[in-house]
Homo-oligomer: A and B are copies of this chain.
Amino acid sequence: MPTAAVVPHAPEALPQPYLLFLGDTVEPGYAKTAYGLRDWAPERCLGEFACPGATVSTGLPRLTPAQARAGGARAMVIGVANPGGRIPPAWVPALLDALQAGLDLVGGMHARLAGIDVLRNAAIAHGRRLIDVREPPSDLPVASGRKRTGKRLLTVGTDCALGKKYTALSLARAFRDRGLDATFRASGQTGILIAGAGVPMDAVIADFAAGAAEFLSPDADPAHWDVVEGQGSLSHPAYAGVSLSLLHGSQPDVIVVCHAVGRERMLGHAHYLVPSIEETIDLALRLGARTNPAIRCAGVSLNTAALDDADAQDAIASTAARLGLPVADPVRGGAAFERLVDACLA
């Protein structure tokens, strides 16, 4: 029995349905894995489980591991990502509970589940699996910079954790709804859990990061769209290198810039202001032109989750007027989103 099956490219083999684990998290921005699974793979999510003190919730039923197992769950998925991707000791009792209850564990942290002795021993004792989806493919190439066939779109953020994955998933679905051949390309652990394939960009050795982005969106039919999930922000003091590698390697024809209304300071780095949308568009086009001189910005995806509907429509309209570009919140959809899709395909 393997104690740590590595399944980066075959999540269809992941044990499911899931119980979503929320750790001891009090910052909703860190729970994007749980929210993403709830929204894009609801048929696989039975409920949620958290440590004492956690304040975030997916709104799914709260179940103990034993209740979830009795209800048919096969695995507990770690649905939160703290800075640095480590597994804090406070989570370990809950993870042991899940193994004891008969659930496999699925993680996407930098720290590997199988690297924690007490979990590995418990998995062996209970006949369970520890599955890390953040393991990048081995033998990634150095980027060639060669232009590939097919069309590519990349979502580019002003910050982390504000809708780049949602936007890419929404655009890929909208493209398919219009009869186009489009593939969502996942670059992070949640996206990989949802899509069933992808490359965890932030876990790749730095020298191969742009090569990983090339590997993620290979040559395709000239009419095919790869809709690539962005990572980080070109202005992020810790993660900009990952963002630039993904921009260079994915060679997008089109970018959509993602921004959260009211986010003034960088998540987890509050001594840094969030850059303006204008600055982010300008920087992404300048840097992206290095590997695709035809790069253009189709518009802006505006996360208006903090606003009521009237204020959201006002924010979308005023941002569109200011920028002279299509602006939409994919979560709200509507005519504004259809105009953004039009602009991507124009």
Are A203 and B210 in contact, CB atoms less than 8 angstroms apart? no
Is A244 interfacial (CB 8 A cutoff)?
A: yes
Nearest chain B CB to A317's CB is how many angstroms away? 30
In the complex, the chain B residue whose C-beta lies closest to that of A269 is B145
From A54-62, A122-130, A233-241, A256-264, give the one contacting chain B: A233-241
From A71-79, A97-105, A136-144, give the one contacting chain B: A136-144
Give a binary string over A237-260; 1 marks a CB under 8 Å from any B CB, 0 the rest: 111111111001000000000000
Is A157 interfacial (CB 8 A cutoff)?
A: no
Contacts of A287 in B (CB 8 A): 240
Are A209 and B206 in contact, CB atoms less than 8 angstroms apart? yes
Say which size band chain A's interface belongs to.
35 or more
The answer to whether A210 and B269 touch (CB under 8 A), given A83-B142, A84-B142, A205-B205, is: no
Are A237 and B241 in contact, CB atoms less than 8 angstroms apart? no
Complex: A205 Cα to B242 Cα, angstroms: 10
Is A201 interfacial (CB 8 A cutoff)?
A: yes
Is A319 interfacial (CB 8 A cutoff)?
A: no
A residues 190-210 near B (Cβ < 8 Å) are 201-207, 209-210
Closest 7 CB pairs of A and B: A145-B237, A241-B245, A143-B238, A202-B207, A241-B241, A206-B209, A241-B244
- Chain A residues engaging chain B, CB cutoff 8 angstroms: 83-85, 110, 141-146, 201-207, 209-211, 235, 237-245, 248, 269, 271-272, 283, 286-287, 290-291
